[in-house]
Amino acid sequence: MESTRGISRLKYKTSTDGWLARYTVEGETFRKTFSDSKYGSPEASKTAAEEWHKEVRSLFPPMTREEYFTVSGRTPESGITGVRRNVAINKGHEYPNWVATWRLRGKLHMKTFSVNKYGEEDAKRLAVEARQAVNDQLEAEWRDNYWNYRPHLINEKGYIEEPFAYEGEKKYVLHLQAERDRSIRGLKLDAFLQEHGKLFCEICSFSFEKAYGEVGKGLIEVHHLVPFSELSTGRNTSISDLMCVCSNCHLALHNGDPSENLRRLKIIFDSVTKKGANKTG
């Protein structure tokens, strides 16, 4: 059976044959094997491989031409995506030209400008202008249609009623995440409760339970004294490496250098505590 793009035939001397499906996008490679023995026949295993490849491709679509040039740092010789110089050959004669290309609803469109007719610079300029005109037209059409479908955002004077952002669309992303052991949080809270009898921020002394009653019971955040961002490899974390903090202090700690911010916050709240003690004394 013939291989198709992204799917190749596997043959082994000591085990069953099958198909390897492979798809690479933005430097990340997805791969999976499909054995003939599992699916019953080479045809069935290949179908399963094709379906998997199609699903992964739909979840992580390939980059557009514009995205590829942006990520790779490459640009066409024109400096404009969608504009290129081409040389057509007919009966041994060369006919150089500049071409503007774009896709609309999946169909490729192009306009060609002859170097022999317009000259090198004018042919290039006309191609760039043609591509830009299409971009402007498509952008204007999108903008007009967008507001036509959202009239409630426009008041009677034609102004946008309030700023907005488009959110909520689901997408898959690839990322590297440092592993956390959630059990150490529970151990820290148990030790803290055993020592102090209640949960409160070790920096500002704020207590969720005291402020919010039953709703705030058991609420506190646990801060790593050695930030995860500074770890290049895994390490053992003990409860002495953690501290209980409120949400506000935790946010302030990570607004820059956590270690330096912790030093500053302790100075701030130590001075607040001393002032309070002097007033009551």
End-to-end CA distance of the chain: 91
The residues spanned by each domain of the chain are 7-59, 68-153, 183-280
Handedness of CA 11, 16, 17, 21 (dihedral sign): negative
Residues 6+ apart with CB under 8 A from 31: 20, 21, 22, 23
Token pair for 156: 């009677």
Q: What is the CA radius of gyration of the chain?
A: 31
Return the SS3 of 64: coil
DSSP state of 62: P
Q: Rounded to the nearest 5°, which phi and psi values hold at 15?
A: -145, 180
Instruction: Check if the beta carbon of residue 3 is closer than 8 Å to that of residue 9.
Output: yes
- In this predicted model, which residue has the larger pLDDT, 279 or 146? 279
Chain centroid to CA 236: how far? 30
Are the beta carbons of 45 and 34 closer than 8 angstroms? yes
Structure tokens at 101: 């290309």
Per residue in 71-89, pLDDT (tens digit) is 444 445 666 777 888 888 8
**Is the distance from CB of 151 to CB of 102 less than 8 angstroms?**
no
pLDDT of amino acid 169: 60
Is the pLDDT score of 185 beyond 50? yes
pTM score > 0.95 for this model? no
CATH number given to 68-153:
3.30.160
Q: How far apart are alpha carbons 126 and 17 in whole angstroms?
A: 56
pLDDT digits (tens, 9 = 90+) for 24-46: 766 667 888 888 888 889 899 99
